[in-house]
């Protein structure tokens, strides 16, 4: 309905004339935005509508239109209930297919709110500029619900401030233009179960210059070398971008700060005048000269006070910073050890606490708290991205945060971290690799290293020097929602794939970390997260994630600790403990959260293994420890945590840490050790010399060269489980019927941790689906997602089915997920495979139970989560490359068998660990005779240290055995077959062939 043609109701007129609402007599009539009479639907873009959102499935509020006799306007109001643990609210977006709205002639926005007197703040935001409501700048303010009953809330547009935690790069132009408005959003209180009612959102009043003109500076911090001159650009801008009607004056004066006037800088003062008629966006410059002396000094600040008349003043006082100079820690020629010791000796306890603190980018707003709390690190959680989500925006965002760190006494640069767990997966357009389970299936350590190198190059090119990867968990139960983050169930396989660390970091001695294509890597999650017992989790509705790992000391060492020892030998820079608890049978401690296990972090990791990097906690993990907050801090730091990820509670953490040290409950020696470890890695990364983003590699992000590595990884990750009659590879002459939910879905084939934490289905990022890859391979295809198209006349069917994305405990089996294909997927498989010869591809993060349909399937492929390069899957389907992948985990017959792993005393799976048929490869002939010869040759190769030869000999024996076994996989076959692959990975080639011979005889 037309927004300017609505009549003001009697109730609204009464409100406008009431003593509680003071409005000028000549104010224009209000312009309705929402009457909540059904004129705006519950819908989302591209259509206009009201929609809810939240951090989890239970956080979006429930909304409805409710008839109320006390409605301030009309007959209905918007009502809702909420119980929010993370964040949640609702939005009204205008249609993105229509022009944006012009609010620039108005003083502000107002609405009626039915107060509950809960004392909670409610955030109200408006959306300005950009392509649509979801790509706009957010400008925010809030009101406190401290009354009962209906009250009209009036908010002048001058009360809104730019929301930097949503788009810290600066969004569109940093100016509330009001000429391109896309709607509003309401963020409801957290931690209180409540209800609300709202009515009659409208624009009111008439804008005047004092409300629509504002003065800004081009930065908040201006670092300058001693003796240089800082240039502070002052700009006047108006909402609507019209020229100013009246003069604007800006009086300025240097005063306060830590620098001495006349010694460190020349004081300046004066007045800038922007005459009436000055164009919006006009700038003038204030220069602040600094003075040179011969003394070595830490950084010093010179605030530039601004007094504005005729416009709104900047949100904060700009600071000129005279850079630290002449101090030993700044000398790049000194050994890192000496630089660290010098810097730590100068730091205060509060500065040390700041270095041990990591906050989420969304929590620090415009970044002022970085200097206030001397923060050492920021991170982006899954899906925490700048707007727009481009490489340029990431680099600008991080540079803006690094600029804030220049205002600290020693200008210690931030170290920014991100979960790039299969490529730079938070960045739209990045190269998304197969998840680790697929990399494990490749059995190709060199490819793992190349995948790590591509990831590092793309991450560092956006200004990020730290990656929370790789996950070195040994996944022992496929019901775990994180199982795809593991390279496999065999510690030997995980260890073999740790070449990824060199891909990420470079040489083990850390000398490559300062390169613009390397990042600091993180071994996670220490230790035993892949061994948690099903049903032991106490986190929300999780079933196994963050639960308890019960093991003997021998099992702990052999299975879960071994990969971390390898990581330390490879020079891993950081280690992240697990959320899970560890229960070492017989040690008398029972289950203890890993973030509290000093015996494992200090004694085993740091002392025994010799780990010299730093330990970073997981997201809010210390909050899961018993006791009060002070004990959380004390226990975790004493256990060996060097940096603590406290995304939104960094103020509480730093204050508590300082208090605990002052009280003598945490030693200063422990603090100095932690800070020294952190600073060592910052120096190795070259951040003190180059804190800002080096974007020279940005052009290679998502490049053909990088995608070629991902394509190869996708191809090598495909595991051919069954291939009756040699159905695969397909021939281009064959007429192929393609169906299935995952055939043409880039989101499903990429999985969780893709753009957002949980990932999502659909066309979420640039790439090639499996269907597109098959078309590009030249296949003669017909596609019908649900197999509703006629199935007559085809040579072969290819059905691509599997899971939809999930991450962490959200994906635990029993938490809304299972190992069964969906009913729709099963129906598609049944229909296609009944009509023609068929190949079924399973896109998933873990094995799916397929045994009841296996007889009706001619070819079966475990495709895992291949990432954005579906051509890699097509490469093996059409025979451009051979199938070479092997199962990195055991494929069970039923869920009742779980957990089932190589080495189990009872072992009767659908497909054993290490199984993987091949194509385009000659299978050896000669049976038992050939196996005897291969065993002798493999033993000789082992003695000679000829690893490559030994691996090739075992591979030949495996192909021979698989050919004889076919689909007759019994327990006497499966157990030695799986054991052989473990022996191969541990370099015992002769024994591996002997085990394969045992399987051959049992077939």
Active-site positions read: 618, 808
Identify the H or E element spanning 783. Answer: strand 780-783
**Are 715 and 885 in contact, with CB atoms under 8 Å apart?**
no
Residues 133, 135, 137, 142, CA torsion sign: positive
Q: State the DSSP code for 443.
A: T
End-to-end CA, the chain:
75
List the one residue out of 674, 475, 680, 486 whose CA is nearest residue 571.
680
Give me 769's structure tokens.
Answer: 């689906």
List the one residue out of 303, 295, 286, 317 whose CA is nearest residue 226.
295
Identify the H or E element spanning 371. Answer: helix 368-372
How far apart, in whole angstroms, are the C-alpha atoms of residue 591 and residue 583? 4
Q: DSSP states of 29-54 as a string?
A: PPEEEE--SSSS-S--TTS-EEEEEE
**Residue in the structure block whose two tokens are 């906690």:** 617
Q: State the DSSP code for 55.
A: S
**Residue in the structure block whose two tokens are 């009043």:** 205
How far apart, in whole angstroms, are the C-alpha atoms of residue 448 and residue 712? 11
How far apart, in whole angstroms, are the C-alpha atoms of residue 646 and residue 654? 10
**Are 527 and 564 in contact, with CB atoms under 8 Å apart?**
yes
How far apart, in whole angstroms, are the C-alpha atoms of residue 84 and residue 975? 49
Q: DSSP states of 803-828 as a string?
A: PPP--GGGGSBTTTB-SSPPHHHHHH
How far apart, in whole angstroms, are the C-alpha atoms of residue 145 and residue 116? 6
Give me 199's structure tokens.
Answer: 């009515």
List the one residue out of 3, 81, 82 whose CA is nearest residue 35.
3
Compute, in degrees rounded to 10, the torsion defined by CA atoms 720, 726, 729, 733.
Answer: -150
How many residues make up the chain in this entry? 1003
Q: State the DSSP code for 290.
A: B
Burial of 922 (0-12, 13-18, 19+ CB in 10 A): exposed
Q: Please state at what angle helix 971-985 crosses helix 989-1002, rounded to 10 degrees.
A: 170
Compute, in degrees rounded to 10, the torsion defined by CA atoms 82, 85, 90, 91.
Answer: 170
Give me 888's structure tokens.
Answer: 């990195």
Q: State the DSSP code for 61.
A: P
**Are 873 and 773 in contact, with CB atoms under 8 Å apart?**
yes
């Amino acid at each position: 309905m037309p927004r300017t043609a609505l009549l003001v109701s009697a109730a609204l007129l009464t409100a406008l004339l009431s003593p509680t609402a003071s409005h000028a007599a000549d104010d224009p009539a209000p312009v309705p935005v929402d009457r909540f009479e059904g004129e705006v639907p519950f819908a989302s873009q591209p259509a206009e509508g009201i929609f809810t959102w939240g951090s989890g499935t239970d956080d979006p509020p429930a909304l409805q239109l409710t008839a109320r006799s006390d409605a301030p306007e009309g007959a209905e109001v918007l009502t809702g209930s909420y119980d929010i643990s993370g964040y949640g609210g609702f939005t009204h977006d205008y249609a993105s297919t229509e022009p944006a709205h012009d609010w620039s002639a108005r003083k502000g926005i107002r609405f009626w709110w039915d107060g509950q007197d809960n004392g909670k703040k409610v955030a109200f935001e408006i959306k300005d500029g950009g392509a649509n409501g979801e790509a706009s700048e957010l400008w925010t303010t809030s009101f406190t619900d401290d009354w009962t009953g209906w009250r009209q809330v009036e908010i002048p547009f001058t009360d809104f401030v730019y929301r930097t935690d949503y788009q810290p790069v600066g969004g569109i132009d940093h100016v509330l233009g009001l000429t391109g408005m896309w709607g509003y959003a309401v963020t409801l209180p957290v931690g209180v179960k409540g209800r609300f009612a709202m009515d009659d959102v409208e624009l009111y009043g008439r804008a005047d210059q004092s409300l629509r003109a504002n003065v800004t500076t081009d930065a908040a911090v201006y670092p300058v070398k001693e003796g240089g001159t800082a240039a502070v650009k002052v700009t006047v801008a108006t909402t609507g971008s019209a020229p100013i009607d009246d003069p604007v004056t800006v009086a300025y004066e240097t005063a306060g700060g830590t620098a001495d006037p006349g010694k460190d800088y020349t004081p300046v003062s004066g007045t800038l005048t922007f005459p009436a008629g000055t164009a919006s966006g006009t700038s003038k410059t204030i220069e602040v000269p600094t003075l040179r002396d011969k003394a070595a000094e830490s950084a010093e600040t010179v605030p530039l006070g601004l007094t504005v008349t005729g416009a709104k003043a900047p949100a904060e006082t700009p600071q000129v910073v005279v850079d630290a100079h002449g101090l030993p820690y700044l000398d790049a020629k000194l050994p890192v050890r000496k630089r660290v010791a010098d810097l730590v000796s100068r730091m205060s306890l509060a500065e040390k606490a700041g270095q041990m603190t990591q906050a989420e980018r969304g929590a620090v707003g415009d970044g002022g708290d970085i200097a206030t709390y001397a923060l050492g690190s920021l991170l982006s959680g899954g899906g925490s991205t700048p707007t727009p989500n481009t490489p340029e925006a990431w680099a600008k965002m991080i540079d803006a945060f690094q600029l804030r760190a220049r205002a600290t006494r020693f200008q210690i640069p931030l170290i920014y971290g991100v979960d790039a767990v299969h490529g730079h997966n938070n960045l739209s357009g990045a190269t998304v690799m197969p998840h680790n389970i697929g990399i494990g299936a490749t059995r190709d350590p060199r490819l793992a290293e190349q995948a790590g190198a591509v990831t590092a190059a793309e991450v560092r090119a956006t200004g990020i020097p730290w990656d929370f990867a790789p996950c070195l968990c040994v996944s022992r139960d496929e019901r775990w929602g994180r199982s795809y983050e593991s390279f496999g169930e065999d510690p030997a396989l995980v260890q073999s794939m740790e070449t990824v660390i060199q891909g990420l970091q470079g040489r083990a001695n850390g000398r490559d970390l300062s390169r613009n294509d390397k990042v600091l890597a993180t071994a996670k999650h220490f230790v035993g997260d892949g061994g948690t017992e099903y049903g032991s989790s106490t986190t929300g509705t999780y079933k196994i994630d963050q639960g308890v790992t019960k093991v003997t000391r021998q099992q702990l060492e052999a299975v879960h600790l071994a990969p971390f020892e390898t990581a330390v030998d490879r020079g891993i820079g950081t280690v992240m403990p697990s959320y899970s608890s560890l229960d070492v049978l017989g040690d008398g401690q029972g289950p203890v959260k890993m973030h509290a296990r000093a015996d494992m972090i200090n004694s085993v990791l740091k002392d025994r293994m010799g780990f010299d990097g730093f330990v970073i906690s997981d997201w809010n993990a210390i909050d899961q420890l018993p006791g009060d907050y002070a004990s959380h801090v004390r226990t975790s730091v004493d256990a060996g945590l060097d940096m603590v990820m406290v995304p939104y509670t960094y103020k509480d953490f730093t204050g508590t840490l300082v208090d605990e040290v002052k009280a003598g409950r945490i030693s200063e020696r422990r603090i100095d050790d932690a800070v020294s470890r952190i600073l060592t890695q910052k120096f190795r990364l070259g951040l003190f010399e180059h804190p800002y983003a080096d974007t020279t590699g940005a052009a290679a992000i998502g490049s053909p060269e990088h995608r070629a590595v991902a394509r190869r990884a996708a191809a090598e990750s495909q595991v051919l489980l069954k291939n009756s009659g040699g159905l695969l590879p397909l021939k281009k002459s064959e007429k192929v019927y393609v169906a299935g939910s995952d055939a043409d879905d880039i989101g499903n084939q990429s999985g969780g941790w893709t753009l957002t934490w949980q990932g999502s289905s659909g066309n979420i990022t640039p790439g090639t689906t499996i269907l597109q890859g098959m078309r590009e391979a030249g296949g003669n295809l017909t596609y019908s997602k649900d197999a509703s198209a006629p199935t007559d006349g085809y040579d072969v069917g290819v059905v691509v089915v599997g899971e939809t994305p999930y991450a962490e405990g959200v994906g635990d089996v029993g938490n809304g997920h299972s190992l069964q294909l969906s009913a729709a997927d099963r129906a598609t498989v049944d229909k296609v495979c009944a009509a023609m010869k068929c190949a079924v591809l399973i896109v998933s993060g873990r094995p799916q139970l397929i045994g009841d349909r296996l007889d009706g399937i001619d070819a079966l492929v475990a495709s895992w989560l291949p990432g954005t390069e579906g051509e890699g899957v097509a490469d093996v389907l059409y025979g451009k490359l051979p199938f070479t992948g092997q199962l990195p985990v055991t494929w069970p017959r039923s869920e009742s068998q779980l957990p089932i792993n190589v080495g189990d005393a009872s072992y009767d799976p659908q497909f054993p660990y290490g199984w993987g048929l091949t194509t385009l490869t000659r299978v050896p002939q000669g049976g038992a005779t050939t196996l005897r010869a291969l065993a002798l040759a493999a033993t000789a190769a082992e003695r000679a240290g000829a690893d490559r030869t030994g691996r090739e000999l075992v591979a030949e024996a495996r192909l021979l055995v698989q050919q004889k076994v076919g689909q007759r996989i019994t327990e006497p076959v499966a157990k030695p077959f799986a054991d052989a692959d473990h022996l191969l990975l541990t370099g015992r080639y002769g024994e591996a062939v002997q085990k394969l011979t045992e399987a051959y005889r049992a077939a």
